[in-house]
Structure 1
Amino acid sequence: MIKLTEVQKQYTEKVKIGPLNIEIPKAGFTSLIGPNGAGKSTTLMMIGRLLSIDEGQIAVAHMDIGSSKSKDLAKIITILRQENHFVTRLSVRQLVGFGRFPYSDGRLTLEDEAIISKYIDFLDLTELENRYLDELSGGQRQRAYVAMVLCQETEYVLLDEPLNNLDIARSVQMMEHLRAAAKEFGRTIVTVMHDINFAAKYSDRICAMKDGQIAAYGTVEEIMDPEILTSIFETKIEVIEGPYGPIAIY
């Protein structure tokens, strides 16, 4: 479980995140949605300890984010930021291998190599594993980054806008992979999402944020309500029932 208790981050007198109080249960797919500047990425960064908190407490799998050792946390939680700056002359397999660092300290064992292959295959990267990152398309690189974080084999996976710069077809492919990872491997995946309908189709739960606060949190059916969405995004949104669940119409 991920638990935030009275978590706050103060940037200026007028710009503040929180207080945030939320419990995200173990296993499943949770999406953070909301308008730009709502605090979604900041919240994700605080959970992943890439950004310090000013007040409150964050616990992941009953481990306090503020006081736990980094090496211990790296075996529980992993995060993929929106911007990645890996050396482009890394091969896909070398990149994915970084996910084993908390366990191997750079000395890969046969078990590590088998795990690397497992996630390269899972993300359909087998034919690309010896290609360099700068030889890949944006969608292929994004799959390689996701393979890397999954290869760390943490119970909790945080992804900041995993669909960034992907076209519709590649976005669907990515979400299918992530949903499968949550189901097949029992992972707890938390993502920042801009597209409400992708969040609705693939999530178990949705946390909607506005002005640095949690405006609504619940199941897809609870959050995909026209009054809730219209209030959060400040534009009229209708919700219809589609073949795969509720669809927001702007």
Structure 2
Amino acid sequence: MIQISNVSKSYTSEETIGPLNINIPKAGLTSLIGPNGAGKSTTLLMIGRLLDIDNGQIQVANMDVSGSKSKDLAKILTILRQENHFVTRLTVRQLVGFGRFPYSKGRLTSEDESIISKYIDFLELTKLENRYLDELSGGQRQRAYVAMVLCQETEYVLLDEPLNNLDVARSVQMMGHLREAANELGRTIVTVMHDINFAAKYSDRICAMKKGQIAAFGSVDEIMQAELLTDIFETQIEIIQGPYGGVAIY
């Protein structure tokens, strides 16, 4: 479980996140949604200890995020920041192999190589594993980065806007992989999502944020309510119940 207790972060007297209080259950896929500036990415970065908290406590699997050693935290929690992606003369396999660093310290064993191959196959990158990152499309690179964080084999996986810069077809493909990782690999995945339709279709739970606060947290059915979403996004939203789930109309 991810436990966030009275957590706050202040940038200026007028720009404050929190206090946040929420318990995200173990396993499944939880999406953070809300308008720009709601605090979604800030919250994710604080959970992943890429951003210090001013007050409160965050625990992941009963481990205090702020006080734990990096080498210990890296074995239960991994985070992928969208803006930290880089394109360099690394092959897909070399990139995915970075996920084993907390265990191998750069000296890959035969077991590490087997795990790397497992996640290359899982993200359908087998034919691309010897290609360089700068030879790939944006969607292919995105899959390679997700394979890298899954290869770290942490129970908790944090993804900041995993659908950024992906077209609809590639977004569907990516969410299918994440759903599969939650179902088949038992991972607890927390994502920042801008598209509430994708959040509704693939998530187990949704955390809706507004103005640095948690406005609502619950199941997809509980959050995908027109009145609630209209209030959060401050624009009229209608929910159409179709054969593939709710669709939000702006």
TM over 0.5: yes
What is the CA-CA distance between 1:41 and the residue it aligns to? 0.2
> Counterpart of 1:184 in structure 2: which amino acid?
E
Moved over 2 A (4+): 84-87
Residues 39-188 of structure 1: matches in 2 within 5 Å?
39-86=39-86, 88-188=88-188
Amino acid at match of 1:124: E
CA distance in 2, matches of 1:17, 1:87: 32
**1:197 deviation in Å?**
0.3
Aligned to 2:219: 219
Shift of 1:244: 2.1
Letter of the structure 1 residue corresponding to residue 68 of structure 2: S
In structure 2, what is the equivalent of residue 200 of structure 1? Answer: 200
Would you say 1:191 and 2:155 are equivalent positions?
Answer: no
Counterpart in 2 of 1:15? 15
Alpha carbon RMSD of aligned pairs, Å? 0.7
For the residues of structure 1 that align with 2:40 and 2:93, how far apart are their CA atoms?
A: 31
Equivalence for 2:24: 24
Q: Cα deviations across residues 12-71 of structure 1 (Å, max 9, x unaligned)?
A: 000000000000000000000000000000000000000000000000000000111000
- What is the DSSP-based 3-state SS (H/G/I as helix, E as strand, rest coil) of the residue aligned with 1:120? helix
Query: Unmatched 5+ residue regions in structure 2?
Result: none
Structure 1 residues 107 and 140, CA gap change in structure 2 (3 angstroms): same
Give TM-score, length-normalised by structure 1: 0.99
Equivalent AA in structure 1 for residue 224 of structure 2: M
Q: What amino acid is aligned across from residue 75 of structure 1 in structure 2?
A: K
**Aligned-pair distance for 1:242?**
1.5
Structure 2 distance, partners of 1:198, 1:115, is: 29
Query: 1:20/1:35 Cα in 2 relative to 1: closer, same or farther (>3 Å)?
Result: same
Deviation at 1:205, TM superposition (A): 0.2
- Cα distance in 1 between the residues matched to 2:157 and 2:121: 19
Q: Secondary structure at the match of 1:11?
A: strand
Q: What CA distance in whole angstroms lies between the structure 1 residues aligned with 2:170 and 2:85?
A: 21
Q: Amino acid of the residue matched to residue 24 of structure 1?
A: I
Structure 1: where are the runs of 5+ without partners?
Answer: none
Aligned counterparts of 1:167 and 1:207: Cα–Cα separation in 2? 24
